[in-house]
């Protein structure tokens, strides 16, 4: 991010704020010091460095550019000493065999590596490649349940639901009714629907599912066994695991491509789905589509969980009622007609359940639309009881908010 720094017009400097994946922040100063400017650029950096680091919440400092520092050796060395800076360029950066383009930072020498890339165009200075090694903090793998809906025992699940005495189970307040409904449905789902537990990593590609994770873990275990005991048997087992992983991944990629093709060629595909499919097919979808966010204290949120909490706090503050005793604002009526009361029927609820899209993701309550749609006739009654209780008590269940 470019920074707006107040300085004399003749100074040829630009300042930037950089972030790394482990929440480190850098103040980058790009400077060109013509010989006629004397010590002015060095003196400006020296005098304003502390305030710039504090103002922009930067932890580290990097200065690069053509400084011609051999002509202002004393003030240049004083700056290095006062701020504990290190010059990381130890090779000539000019055809005269002089080192005029330093890379200066407060980082240890082992963290930064500099090397020449060769002359650029007609310049008599080579380009310098500077590499900063930082430890990357990634989001931890998330546990995921892969439900095998096609192999579920739906007849037994429907039979269990038919035998439920919902009027006896749903006899308390709305929140308790929803808790009972969710617990019963989830327990039956785990009982009659096969599932597979595995962990997804943030950088997993869209085609990398349960089977790919299984064979990848098997390959990793085979490699560890061969590494610990390099026998011929373990070597062959590792080779076989690699071969199996390539085969499974090839099949997964082919299935994913066919699914994307079928999805994009359908008549009812939306604009959002079309572009999403095209970007995935081109590999343009990053593992993290939300960029790093800045907290109120100036620190950076890079992990998905931190971003969620930051966005939740921001939007919650916008919707917070400071004084809950105040009456709600009066909205001018648009009609004189009024609806005193109404009742939701079981038939209406069943109709809505049958229209659910089973491809939609699970909600916070972990109830799948697969189960709601396949068991619409059995689940319409308990949901009708809960919905009507919501209307009569003027309360919405906490789990559904």
Tell which residue, 147, 137, 61, has the closest CA to residue 103. Answer: 61
Identify the pLDDT of residue 57: 84
> For 121-140, what is the mean pLDDT?
75
Q: What band does 281 get if pLDDT is binned at 50, 70 and 90?
A: low
Q: Where in the chain is the domain with CATH 3.60.10.10?
A: 2-132
- Catalogue the E-assigned strands of 57-164: 60-66, 86-87, 103-105, 112-119, 126-132, 142-147
Q: What is the CATH code for 2-132?
A: 3.60.10.10
Residue 280 scores a pLDDT above 70: no
pLDDT tens, position by position, 355-401: 998 888 887 788 899 999 999 999 999 999 999 999 999 899 988 88
Q: What band does 270 get if pLDDT is binned at 50, 70 and 90?
A: confident
pLDDT above 90: percentage of residues in the chain: 30
Q: Are strands 293-294 and 2-3 parallel, antiparallel or unpaired?
A: unpaired
Tokens of 200: 């997804």
Q: What band does 287 get if pLDDT is binned at 50, 70 and 90?
A: very low
Answer with the residue of higher pLDDT: 141 or 35. 35
Say what the pTM is. 0.53
Q: Are 358 and 375 in contact (CB under 8 A)?
A: no
pLDDT tens, position by position, 152-161: 899 999 999 9
């Amino acid at each position: 991010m470019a920074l707006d720094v107040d300085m004399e017009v003749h100074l040829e400097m630009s300042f930037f704020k950089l972030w790394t994946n482990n929440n480190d922040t850098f103040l980058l100063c790009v400077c060109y010091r013509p010989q006629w400017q004397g010590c002015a650029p060095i003196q400006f950096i020296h005098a304003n460095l502390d305030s710039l680091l504090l103002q922009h919440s930067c932890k580290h400092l990097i200065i690069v550019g053509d400084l011609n520092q051999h002509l202002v050796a004393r003030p240049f060395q004083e700056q290095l000493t006062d701020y504990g800076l290190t010059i990381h360029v130890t090779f000539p950066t000019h055809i005269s065999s002089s080192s005029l383009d330093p890379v200066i930072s407060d980082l240890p020498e082992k963290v930064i590596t500099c090397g020449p890339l060769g002359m650029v165009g007609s310049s008599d200075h080579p380009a310098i490649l500077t590499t900063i090694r930082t430890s990357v903090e990634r989001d931890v793998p998330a546990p995921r349940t892969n439900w095998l809906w096609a192999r579920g025992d739906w007849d037994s699940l429907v039979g269990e639901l038919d035998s439920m005495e919902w009027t006896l189970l749903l006899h308390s307040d709305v929140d308790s009714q929803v808790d009972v409904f969710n617990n019963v449905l989830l327990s039956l789902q785990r009982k009659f629907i096969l599932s597979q537990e595995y962990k997804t990593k943030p950088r997993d590609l869209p085609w990398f599912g349960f089977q790919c994770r299984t064979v990848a873990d098997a390959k990793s275990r085979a490699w560890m066994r061969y590494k610990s005991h390099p026998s011929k048997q373990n070597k062959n087992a590792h080779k076989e695991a690699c071969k199996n992983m390539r085969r499974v991944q090839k099949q997964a990629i082919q299935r994913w491509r066919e699914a994307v093709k079928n999805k994009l060629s359908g008549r009812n595909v939306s604009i959002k789905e079309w572009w999403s499919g095209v970007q995935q097919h081109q590999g343009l979808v990053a593992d993290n589509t939300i960029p790093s966010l800045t907290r109120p204290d100036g620190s950076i949120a890079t992990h998905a969980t931190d971003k969620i909490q930051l966005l939740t706090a921001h939007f919650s503050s916008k919707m917070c009622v400071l004084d809950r005793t105040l009456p709600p604002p009066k909205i001018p009526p648009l009609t004189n007609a009024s609806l005193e009361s109404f009742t939701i029927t079981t038939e209406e609820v069943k109709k809505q359940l049958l229209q659910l899209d089973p491809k939609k993701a699970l909600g916070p309550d972990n109830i799948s639309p697969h189960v709601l749609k396949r068991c619409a006739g059995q689940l319409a009654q308990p949901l009708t009881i809960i919905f009507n209780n919501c209307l009569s008590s003027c309360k919405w269940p906490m789990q559904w908010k």
